[in-house]
Structure 1
Amino acid sequence: MFSEINEQLIEIQGHLRKKDKYEAQLEDYKDELEAIEHRLAQLESRLQSEQEDVEKLERFSLTNLFATLSGKKDEKLSVEKQEYLAAKHKLEEAKKTRVEIDDAMILISEKLIQLENAEYRYQQLLKQKEEMIKTSSTPYTEKIFELSSLEGRLQAYIIELDEAINAGQNVKNSLQKAITSLEKAENWGTWDMLGGGTITGMVKHQHIDEAEKSLHQAQTRMRQFQKELLDVQETAQIEVNISDMLKFADFFFDGFIADYMVQGKINRSLEQAKQQNERVHTIVQGLENQYDEKNRELKRIQQEKQHIIEKL
């Protein structure tokens, strides 16, 4: 009987920890959603402004006339179109992020519904435990329950650490893909600057496109990583400004179309991706150390409990 209720308590402690985790994640996503809605409004306003600038140069106007007479109309129109495309591109990225946040919030809300009775179930089990301690004839009952409670909390925490580690590894995988693509773009870009021709430029742009997809995926996974860290960061004594890491790829997305041929842009993006990869690696390493330490602690508790049970 002791074994059965102990197992139930361990299981329900895991559910309660997940419930707290999901509630914290949901609140954090709500803040992010508010921020992305504000950013979308700004980007839509900017896109409208850039579109108007293009239209001014394309239709008959004094601005158009002066630009034509000065011989700079085509140059100005090209710049305005590049800025319009850059603004449109950033807006599309922000919209994708909003959809991802919406989907994540729906998923978490569904998980919370499944755990809504966890607290009530836990209190009921505690009452059963108290009655068993009162009616038990062995002096070791309370100690066994105490150790089981510690065991449950540790097991739940170890699961959270494992989930955070996996989320961090996913970020690293996406960053490594981006780094590989940027390194290829850098190499082809160097050849392009030396007069590689049209095909060289096309290959370079293909690798840039691949890098962009990987960086967007890295940002998405970084957001998921940040949510997993909410529950373990303080206990694991990990200090990291994750908000800065979420924004790292903005440099790449901001105006890259207008800057498409600039080799320096590729070089700086590559350097930033490598820096972020190293930061994530350091965090994951800290989590793995905590994982090993807590598993050793769990094993000690389980052995102590088993030793008491064997003496009964």
Structure 2
Amino acid sequence: MRELDDQIMELKQEKYLKDKFLRRLEELQRDRQHEADNGKSLRLRLEKELKDVDKLEGVSLSGFFHMIAGKKEERLEKEKEEAFKARILYEESKQKLAELDTDIHALNAKIEESGDVEERLKAVLTKKEQLIHESDPALSALLNNLTEQKINLEMALKELDEAEDAALQAENALEKADSSLTSAKNWGYMDMAGGGLMSTLIKKSHMDEAKEVLHSAQYYLKRLQAELNDLGKELTTNLEVSDFLHIADLFFDNVFSDWMVQERISASASQVAQCLERLDVLQRELKAEKQRVQVDLQKVEQERLSYLHS
């Protein structure tokens, strides 16, 4: 056990250094990107300044007017000075970029040298856990309990992820439906105002689009309801899928007037808007629940590892 503890301590120190190198590498990569962008701007500035010098030195309209005004030499000297400054800044930027590349290369070498330290530490901790199970029944029972808690929390997290995904898919479909219904409603008003066959066809096209995405939304809402049931939790938002099941075909029944069609389009749009509001509340609750589970999972894992590291 003592030998395992020494290995754990050594690997923890190695992992600490690797994590430190990774953080530093991330900083250097950000600095490099910033300097690369800066270098591009400085190169463009240098090219512009050199062109300005060439214009004044050569036979150009700008150079001609400056010569007539008796200020060509003064202007040329100023442009050369600006070009010189731009060149200095550009060269400095290239040097900084080269230095950053050197540091990044060195850090990558150190990180590569550490190899799979995380996996090696995990393997040693697993070995120690096995020894504990064999030699310390009380601690073994405690670890088993924590492991069971961890598994349950991981399963809950997976269920929440699936619920969030279903809610997002439903939201996307409903937003498309909302857009199609709004367009159908607007073209419906034009149709009733005597817009002719074209406005009728465009309205019908938007209604067809709405029908298609509403059927898709119904599928994801049903899936969401199933995921919420799997969670076994009472969320404060009560999202009833059954209220929504017949919206898609609502305005495709037998209708006898444009006003009736328009009313049904408006009713559908209103229900879609209400459903989007409910989804927004539900998504916020799922996010809060997910954060709570993640915190609990982190605490359980930290407690479990604390016994293995001690």
TM-score (norm 1): 0.53
**Structure 2 counterparts to residues 19-34 of structure 1, below 5 A:** none
Whether contact under 8 Å (2:250, 2:264) holds in the other structure is no
Counterpart-to-counterpart distance in 2, 1:171 and 1:298 = 28
Shift in Å, 1:152: 0.8
Structure 2 CA distance for partners of 1:180 and 1:279, relative to 1, 3 Å? same
**1:153 has 2:149 as partner:** no
Paired AA for residue 258 in structure 1: N
Counterpart-to-counterpart distance in 1, 2:164 and 2:239 = 17
Q: Which residue of 2 aligns with 1:235?
A: 233
Counterpart-to-counterpart distance in 1, 2:275 and 2:172 = 12
Structure 2 CA distance for partners of 1:141 and 1:152, relative to 1, 3 Å? same
User: Structure with the greater relative contact order (CA < 8 A, sep ≥ 6): 1 or 2?
Assistant: 1
Residue deviations 1:19-39 (CA, integer Å, cap 9, x gap): xxxxxxxxxxxxxxxxxxxxx
Q: Which runs of 5+ in 2 are unaligned?
A: 1-129
**Structure 2 counterparts to residues 277-288 of structure 1, below 5 A:** 277-288=276-287
Structure 2 CA distance for partners of 1:183 and 1:277, relative to 1, 3 Å? same
Paired AA for residue 141 in structure 1: S
**1:256 has 2:252 as partner:** yes
Structure whose CA Rg is larger:
2
Structure 2 CA distance for partners of 1:237 and 1:302, relative to 1, 3 Å? same
Shift in Å, 1:230: 0.9
**1:222 has 2:218 as partner:** no
Q: Which residue of 2 aligns with 1:182?
A: 181
Structure 2 CA distance for partners of 1:149 and 1:249, relative to 1, 3 Å? closer
Q: Which residue of 2 aligns with 1:303?
A: 302
Q: Which residue of 1 aligns with 2:143?
A: 144
Q: Which residue of 2 aligns with 1:113?
A: none
Residue deviations 1:34-56 (CA, integer Å, cap 9, x gap): xxxxxxxxxxxxxxxxxxxxxxx
Counterpart-to-counterpart distance in 2, 1:156 and 1:264 = 45
Shift in Å, 1:133: 7.2
Paired AA for residue 176 in structure 1: E
Shift in Å, 1:161: 0.8
Counterpart-to-counterpart distance in 1, 2:133 and 2:212 = 62
Whether contact under 8 Å (1:222, 1:246) holds in the other structure is no
Counterpart-to-counterpart distance in 2, 1:133 and 1:224 = 43
Partner-residue secondary structure (3-state), 2:244? coil
Paired AA for residue 277 in structure 2: E
Counterpart-to-counterpart distance in 1, 2:266 and 2:159 = 36
Counterpart-to-counterpart distance in 2, 1:197 and 1:267 = 21
Structure 2 CA distance for partners of 1:142 and 1:204, relative to 1, 3 Å? same
Structure 2 CA distance for partners of 1:257 and 1:174, relative to 1, 3 Å? same
Structure 2 CA distance for partners of 1:170 and 1:194, relative to 1, 3 Å? same
Paired AA for residue 198 in structure 1: L
Paired AA for residue 250 in structure 1: H
Shift in Å, 1:140: 2.6
Paired AA for residue 237 in structure 1: L
Counterpart-to-counterpart distance in 2, 1:213 and 1:237 = 30
Structure 2 CA distance for partners of 1:224 and 1:137, relative to 1, 3 Å? closer
